[in-house]
């Protein structure tokens, strides 16, 4: 399945990406990773900060292709899209999705 098919299914929308959009997401990811070192004693908070960086990077990869997730299930589609945007191997995407599920249970 292609990203365009994801648009047709209503999971993504086309986005007129500016280089500043991607730069901002990369800066946020970098900041999150930097901050994660400062809270090394609190593993739960560190996990949440690193997870936020993963979502920032997945969003940046989608925007680089000219797409954004739609509201609802944003994190799921951002992570799943990594198969199509950066050719991330399925087992890695599955691991990131496990992180998403664990974060969801812990947060909500």
In contact, 65 and 3? CB cutoff 8 Å: yes
Q: What is the pLDDT of residues 49-87, one digit of tens each?
A: 999 999 999 999 999 999 999 877 899 999 999 999 999
- Tell me if the domain spanning 3-107 has CATH number 3.90.640: no
Over range 91-107, report the average pLDDT.
89
Residue written as tokens 């990406």?
A: 17
- Each domain of the chain, given as residue ranges in start order, spans 3-107
Q: What is the pLDDT of residues 85-97, one digit of tens each?
A: 999 999 999 999 9
Residue 106: pLDDT band by 50, 70, 90 thresholds? low
| CA dist., res. 68 & res. 25, Å (int) | 12
In contact, 105 and 51? CB cutoff 8 Å: no
């Amino acid at each position: 399945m292609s990203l365009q098919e994801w648009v047709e299914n209503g999971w993504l929308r086309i986005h007129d990406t500016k280089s500043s959009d991607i730069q901002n997401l990369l800066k946020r990811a970098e900041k999150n990773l930097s901050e994660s070192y400062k809270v090394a004693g609190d593993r739960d908070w560190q996990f949440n900060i690193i997870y936020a960086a993963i979502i920032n990077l997945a969003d940046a990869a989608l925007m680089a292709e000219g797409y954004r997730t739609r509201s609802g299930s944003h994190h799921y589609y951002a992570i799943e899209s990594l198969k199509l945007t950066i050719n991330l191997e399925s087992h890695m995407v599955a691991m990131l999705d496990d992180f998403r599920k664990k974060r969801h249970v812990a947060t909500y």
